[in-house]
Amino acid sequence: MWNVLLSFSGLVALIQLIFLPFFPESPPYLLLQKEDKAGCLKAMKQLWGEGNYQTEFDDLMKEKAVTKGTKIMNVLEVLREGSVHPQLCTMLLLLLSLQLCGLKIFETANLQESIIPYVSLGVSISELISIIFCSSIIDRFGRRVLLCGGYLLMALILVLLETSLLLSDQFLWLRYCSVILIFLFIVAYGLGP
């Protein structure tokens, strides 16, 4: 019944995808990144209801003043920054541990057991590349676009994955499609959510 459990995560992603467009952008994002004061106040009222949010707005303005001189670093600059190495190591360990999730599908595809660790390593590398790519385009497209697009892609890929797993006994070539879909799911996850 593991395939039903896998489908359940697709259902949760679909629910998030449906409701995400109805939520406003984050007030700190609107103020600090987009410099949209009116949009920030409107988002605060949408999220927290009617009220006076001048104190929160003033706190964000102070944060903006403090970070005004701070340079936004790109991916390579972050990798060179020694103070973030513990966080990067933690993230890499998490990425590597996530790769265990596709082993059952790799076995279902009748991949030789000696090849499965290399396929899993390929999934890890794909996820790392997609996360680095996402961090370089997030300022251009914004979080909402990447989240919506990522969840939409993940939901579509999970539907295709479930279909390929259900029909893999009848069509043997679908087993290999399952492996490709796992790679695509990881890339979609890394680009958005």
pLDDT in tens, 19-73: 888 888 888 888 888 888 888 888 888 888 888 888 888 888 888 887 777 777 7
Name the more confident of 161 and 123: 161
Provide the token pair at 109.
Answer: 């595809």
Distance in angstroms (rounded) separating the CA atoms of residues 191 and 103 = 22
Shared-domain flag, residues 41 and 86: no
Q: How many domains does the chain have?
A: 2
Residue in this structure with the two tokens 């499965």, named with its chain if needed:
116
- 3-state SS, 2-13, equals HHHHHHHHHHHH
- The answer on pLDDT for 82 being more than 70 is yes
Query: Is-contact 124 95, C-beta < 8 A?
Result: yes
Shared-domain flag, residues 83 and 24: no
Shared-domain flag, residues 38 and 82: no
Shared-domain flag, residues 49 and 81: no
Shared-domain flag, residues 80 and 130: yes
Question: So what's the pLDDT on residue 96?
Answer: 63
Query: Is-contact 31 67, C-beta < 8 A?
Result: no
pLDDT in tens, 101-153: 556 666 666 667 777 777 777 877 887 788 788 777 777 777 778 888 888 88
Question: So what's the pLDDT on residue 170?
Answer: 87
Shared-domain flag, residues 150 and 123: yes
Domain boundary among 53, 72, 91: 72
Shared-domain flag, residues 81 and 50: no
Question: So what's the pLDDT on residue 95?
Answer: 63
Shared-domain flag, residues 107 and 155: yes
Domain boundary among 44, 72, 100: 72
Distance in angstroms (rounded) separating the CA atoms of residues 132 and 134 = 5
Question: So what's the pLDDT on residue 102?
Answer: 58
Question: So what's the pLDDT on residue 108?
Answer: 67
Write out the residue range of the structural domain in which residue 42 sits: 1-72
Question: So what's the pLDDT on residue 147?
Answer: 81
Query: Is-contact 106 120, C-beta < 8 A?
Result: yes
Shared-domain flag, residues 134 and 56: no
Question: No. of H helices and E strands in the chain?
Answer: 10, 0
Shared-domain flag, residues 138 and 174: yes
pLDDT in tens, 13-28: 888 889 888 888 888 8
- The answer on pLDDT for 167 being more than 80 is yes
Reported confidence tier of residue 98, pLDDT bands at 50, 70, 90 = low
Domain boundary among 46, 72, 98: 72
Q: Comparing 87-101, 155-169, 178-192, which segment has the lowest mean pLDDT?
A: 87-101
Shared-domain flag, residues 111 and 150: yes
